[in-house]
């Protein structure tokens, strides 16, 4: 009988062996999606978050942002509730969109807690805790393809939500 080297796993030669995968090769979605504990929210907080996300989309639309989407992530992650995604055609337009939305969110009592890419002309991200705003140039929007990455998220008809709420 051969002795196994210290620290080496004992392999049953009668069983088919699967090559080990690196962490980058492993698909985290192969198994059941991870469960998470729902974040405790105040009554009406989700409704407020939805309306604010839709108002962000409206502002991006008014500033001629393109392909505007609101994604509902409430059943996917506890980190945030909604993504607002828009495309701008220039650095100036990206900045105009995020700055106007930041002003409106502050006026609504929702302060920005993080910003990434502001010095860039490709992708600006603003984090409001419950809402994350992504404003891209066309190439970056196609490259990062957040709608595919978060493919389980439901798209919100933001115009209908605002119409219904009277905003």
Which pLDDT score, from 0 to 100, does residue 1 have? 47
Cross-strand pairs, 135: 86, 124
Model pTM score: 0.73
Q: Is there a contact between 76 and 150 (Cβ–Cβ < 8 Å)?
A: yes
**Strand bridging mode 154-156 / 66-72:** antiparallel
Whole-number pLDDT of residue 18: 56
Hey, what long-range contacts does 93-99 have (CB within 8 A, 24 or more apart)?
93/63, 93/64, 93/65, 94/121, 94/124, 94/135, 94/136, 94/137, 95/124, 96/63, 97/59, 97/60, 97/63, 97/65, 97/135, 98/124, 98/126, 98/133, 98/135
Q: How does pLDDT run along the chain (167 residues), one tens digit per residue? A: 444 445 545 555 566 555 565 554 554 444 444 444 445 666 678 889 999 999 999 999 999 999 999 999 988 888 889 999 999 999 999 999 999 999 999 999 998 999 998 888 899 999 998 999 999 999 999 998 988 889 889 999 999 999 988 76
């Amino acid at each position: 009988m051969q002795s196994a080297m210290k620290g080496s796993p004992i392999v049953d030669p009668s069983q088919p062996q699967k090559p080990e995968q690196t962490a980058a090769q492993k698909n985290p979605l192969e198994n059941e999606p991870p469960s998470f504990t729902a974040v405790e929210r105040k009554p009406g907080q989700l409704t407020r978050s939805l309306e604010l996300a839709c108002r962000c989309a409206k502002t991006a639309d008014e500033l001629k942002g393109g392909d505007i989407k609101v994604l509902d992530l409430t059943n996917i992650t506890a980190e945030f509730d909604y993504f607002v995604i828009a495309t701008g055609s220039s650095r100036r337009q990206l900045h105009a969109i995020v700055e106007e939305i930041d002003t409106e969110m502050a006026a609504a009592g929702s302060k920005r807690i993080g910003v990434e890419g502001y010095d860039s002309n490709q992708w600006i991200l603003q984090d409001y805790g419950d809402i994350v705003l992504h404003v891209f140039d066309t190439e970056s929007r196609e490259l990062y393809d957040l709608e595919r990455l978060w493919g389980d998220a439901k798209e919100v008809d933001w115009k209908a939500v605002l119409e219904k709420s009277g905003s």
